[in-house]
Amino acid sequence: MTTDTTTKSAPTGATPGEPVLDARGVTMRFGGLTAVSDVDLTVNAGEIVGLIGPNGAGKTTFFNCLTGLYVPTEGEVRYKGQILPPKSFKVTAAGIARTFQNIRLFANMTVLENVLVGRHTRTKEGLWSALLRGPGFHKAEAASRARAMELLEFVGLAGKADHLARNLPYGEQRKLEIARALASEPGLLLLDEPTAGMNPQETRAAEELIFAIRDKGIAVLVIEHDMRFIMNLCDRVAVLVQGKKLIEGDAATVQSDERVIAAYLGEPLANDPGAAEAAEVEAAEAAAEAAAQTAPAKENDR
């Protein structure tokens, strides 16, 4: 199922190749620390793009710069050609939705209510309409509920609409976050480690779900540490290391790049004193172990 090429085709109606997201020279500094450094990244209509890199590489910070949680120190981000406003609710209204690395649900609300919260940027009913609860309000509420149920059906949670979010198993909470993000009717969905904590079956189901989302005409940018998942899913993969984009390309190109292998296997980078030190300690430990192994032989010789 995972490698089905039919699911990889661009969705009908989308214009493949047209940029949905265009981030240029994005830099984010926290005091003396440059978490993201001059990163360019585009996501085109019909694409699933992966963003990978070791822990602390700046992936989540980059997402935060795309979604108005952080205002980048330098650079600009465009969504469908328009520069994004530096406020997260405005970014959501413009058409970018996201999920979080650390799940952010309303734990004491039901599954359905969580999705309804995600719809608020798309409902036009104002304060007076809500207070007076006139026919307009009831009609809009019914339409919202119907759409929320449709989304729950889509992610496979319709049967749990009345459950409290906190009672869902971890994998289903991640699905609910996706349903809530989809409720804002985005054109681009950003997923920050959507399969973290999932078992292999749940991960495969998440893969199918992301293909289905793309097939509905929503471009996807996904952060993940699970390489098999990312390489199977993505049309393109960009690698961040120490805040910089190291390489970008298709799965085969990225997987065979020696710098990517070095970054993941922890080979000491020239400018990483911590890794160099660790390698020195490892070498000293190996020498001590070798010496210990030869010692009993010498005793026997005597």
112 binds, among Mg ion, ligand ATP, none (CB under 5 to 8 A by kind): none
37 binds Mg ion per the rule CB under 5 A: no
Residue closer to Mg ion, measured from CB, 37 or 44: 37
23 lies in the binding site for ligand ATP (CB under 6 A): no
Q: Which of 44, 60, 144, 184 binds ligand ATP (CB under 6 A)?
A: 60
Whose CA is closest to 115, among 80, 71, 163?
163
Residues 6+ apart with CB under 8 A from 212: 7, 154
Which partner from the list ligand ATP, Mg ion, none does 35 bind, CB cut-off 5 to 8 Å by kind? ligand ATP
Q: Is 35 in the site for ligand ATP (CB under 6 A)?
A: yes
CB of 246 to ligand ATP, least distance (A): 13
- CA dist 282 → 265, 267, 279, 289, 293 (Å): 14, 12, 5, 10, 17
Is 60 an interacting residue with respect to Mg ion (CB under 5 A)?
yes
The answer to the question of residue 61 lying near ligand ATP (CB under 6 A) is yes
Residue 195 in the binding site for Mg ion (CB under 5 A): no
Report the C-alpha gap between 114 and 117 in whole angstroms.
5
**Least CB distance from residue 55 to ligand ATP, whole Å?**
4
State the binding string over 96-125 for ligand ATP (x if CB under 6 A, else -): -----x------------------------
Residue 265 CA to residue 227 CA, distance in Å, equals 13
With CB under 6 A as the contact rule, which of the stretches 48-56, 83-91, 161-169, 256-264 interacts with ligand ATP?
48-56
How many Cα neighbours within 13 Å face the side chain of 67?
Answer: 22
Tell me if 23 sits within 8 A of 66, measured CB to CB. yes
- Three-state DSSP class for 180? helix
Q: How far apart are CA 291 and CA 14, in angstroms?
A: 65
Contact (CB, 8 A) for 159 and 166: no
Chain positions contacting ligand ATP, by CB under 6 A: 30, 33, 35, 53, 55-61, 101
Chain positions contacting Mg ion, by CB under 5 A: 59-60, 101
